[in-house]
A and B are shown apart, each in its own frame.
Chain A
Amino acid sequence: MSVQPAMPKSWRVDTKPHKFCPGCGHGLVLKALGQAIDELGIQDRAVFGCDIGCSLLAWDFFNVDTIQTHHGRTTPVITGLKRANPNLIGIAYMGDGGGYAIGSQHLVNAASRNERITVILVNNTQYGMTGGQMAPTTLPGQKTETTPYGRDPEKTGYPTQGPEMVAAITREGAYVARGTVANLRQLKNYLKKALENQMAGNGFSFVEVLSTCPTNWRTNAEETWKMVEQELPRYFKVGEIKVPGQKEGEANG
């Protein structure tokens, strides 16, 4: 008899195994989030909002009230919910397309207004669900369906530095970090702090997570891991970028 690794208590067992592609990072991010919800004991008042795109596959993932909404609009839905009932813990979960392209105005303005919500943005450097097109986070030279010869930054710009942008436009009280599915203990810690920051009523909390898409990266297991562990952090620095109560420059990984 094989021993299965324990699932987070807040996971909904009857919808497992989950529907993400084998090797996809979403399952790992949602595991870390599930553990964070368990440890904080907020399953009763957390509301999980997911976007269109691969994240929508999480619409029945947790034993947590969930709303699946439109491309990039998860941030305003959770904002509206939180404003209407501040006792809830609002979690907006989206991809790099939803957060940095089509819904970027919502991210920017929610951050500027210091909305008391937690945004988790999974960065896998391309649009997974629609078949692997270029995203704002696609690396220079990276091949996607709409950059078949590799992304040329002269024509399409450089990868969006999301957490750095959010850190720059938020004031004291915001929590901003970038984690990775290559370090789940650290990721869970960041997610927990992002939720605690909301629970304390401090302000906007934002965690970007570097994640994998072996389907559209066209990589095998070894190359996938090399990409997320070595390539991605060259452009996207992992660590805490803004922590309430800490002076600038004090935050660290």
Chain B
Amino acid sequence: MPDKPIEGEKRVFMTGNEVVAWAALVAGAEIMYGYPITPQNEIMHYWTRLAPKYGREFLQTEDELSAGFTTVGGVLAGRKAFTATAGPGNTLMQEPMSMAEAMRLPTVVVIQQRGGPSTATVIYSQQEVTMTTLGGNGEGLRIVYSTATHQELFDYTIKAFNTAWKYRFPTFVLGDGYQAKMRESLTIYDPASRGIELVEAEPFLGKPGVPGVDRPPTQLRNTYNVEEELYEVLEGYFKDYEKIAPEVAEYEAFDVEDADLVVVSHGVVSRACKAAVKELREEGIKVGYFRPITLRPLPVDAIRETASKARQFLVVESANGQMARLLKEAAFGCPVEMLSLFKPGVGITAEDVVSRVKEIAG
């Protein structure tokens, strides 16, 4: 059995779902629990073809509730377990991920967003932002990476396992149907060849020794008897989250220093925005580009700094303002005017962005 799925690096031309399967392999994922839903199916298809060659496991469960809870079980046993889902599957996944949040379990979930609400389309959207960042009953103590390219899908899937096991918050890679299904070129690599150290997994349950004799038993619960008991636990979690947020938060920006208007977007839509900003700059229009890479936690300081320099934010989303709501909260009190280009469930082109900016500029 070969040790390493990838030696050094390799230039490839792949679909996003295939990229995720390779990234999970090189990240040391040991077991995937999954349930079919479009557009993430091929993650499982590639995983089930690749995994046995490297001694990794797979289980196709009866539904997403089970896929989420078996992933939780795998993590409890000390394995790097993950799952992938979309749309109504993401809805069902909120129950197990809420438990992972309650118990601080390093689960990794890849979401390939589709249209909503409910079944809607199986193709594409950015409508799972609210659910992925804040879903479940609770406070949304999670980490969510929103990827824009296949290269990022690879990089951030690897990173998601490291972030999850380092900080012990449920971690999501938020892609979409376009990223899942389209093919583009990227470099896949062995993380070690780039000096990326993989965080080791360790068991929560079933550690060596006899519980109660050699060590105290590990007893995890997510039920508390009184309000104060829960409050105390959550206070600790909030403190931890607040502390790690600046370390975890990531963004990408350019041309914001002198911009009157900054185009803000995330995920695949940012590619159209990036092209539009470059085009508008060439025409001499002072626009900037800003993209949160982590939607949870948001790069709040960078958003506030940008929002206090620019006069206007143009928020561009394939959703009806799901990221915009997060931005408004982050930029609260900043004198920036929030403008929008929302096309829920529909792709956005550079031309759409250019014409919207020109419309605003008059």
Contacts and interface: CB of A to CB of B under 8 A. Distances in A.
Interface string B57-80: 101011101100111111111110
A213 interface: no
A47 B81 CA distance: 18
Given A12-B212, A73-B96, A65 B218 contact: yes
B95 interface: yes
A130 B29 CA distance: 39
A237 interface: no
Contacts of A12: 212, 217
Nearest to A108: B62
Contacts of A88: 77, 205-206
Interface string B74-114: 11111101000000000000011001000000000000000
A47 B78 CA distance: 13
Which of the four size classes fits the interface of chain A?
35 or more
A83 interface: yes
Given A83-B59, A84-B79, A88-B77, A59 B206 contact: no
A109 B221 contact: no
A10 B66 CA distance: 30
A80 B79 CA distance: 10
Contacts of B208: 44
Contacts of A76: 61, 65-66, 69-70, 73
Interface residues of B, number: 42
Interface string A32-54: 00000000000111010000100
B52 interface: no
B223 interface: yes
A84 B220 CA distance: 18
Contacts of B61: 76, 109
Nearest to A15: B219
A68 B222 contact: yes
Given A60-B219, A65-B206, A109-B62, A84 B78 contact: yes
Contacts of B72: 69, 77, 80
Interface string A2-15: 00000000101000
Listed residue (A10, A44, A56) with the most chain B CB atoms within 10 angstroms of its CB: A44
Contact of B69 (A69, A84, A109): A69
A79 B96 CA distance: 14
Given A64-B211, A105-B63, A109-B66, A80 B71 contact: yes
Contacts of A109: 61-62, 66
Contact of B95 (A63, A68, A70, A83): A70
B226 interface: no
Listed residue (A47, A59, A88, A109) with the most chain B CB atoms within 10 angstroms of its CB: A47
B213 to A, nearest CB: 7
A85 interface: yes
Given A73-B95, A84-B78, A66 B217 contact: yes
Interface string B208-251: 11111100011111110000000000000000000000000000
Given A62-B217, A77-B73, A82-B73, A69 B222 contact: yes
A145 to B, nearest CB: 21
B30 interface: yes
Contacts of A78: 73
B139 to A, nearest CB: 18
A81 B74 contact: yes
B211 A80 contact: no
Nearest to A85: B77
Listed residue (A65, A73, A106) with the most chain B CB atoms within 10 angstroms of its CB: A65
A36 to B, nearest CB: 16
Listed residue (B72, B73, B209, B219) with the most chain A CB atoms within 10 angstroms of its CB: B73
Interface of A: 10, 12, 43-45, 47, 52, 56, 59-60, 62-70, 73, 76-85, 87-88, 105-106, 108-109
Given A63-B210, A79-B73, A80-B71, 8 more contacts: A66-B205, A70-B96, A76-B69, A78-B73, A81-B74, A82-B77, A83-B57, A87-B206
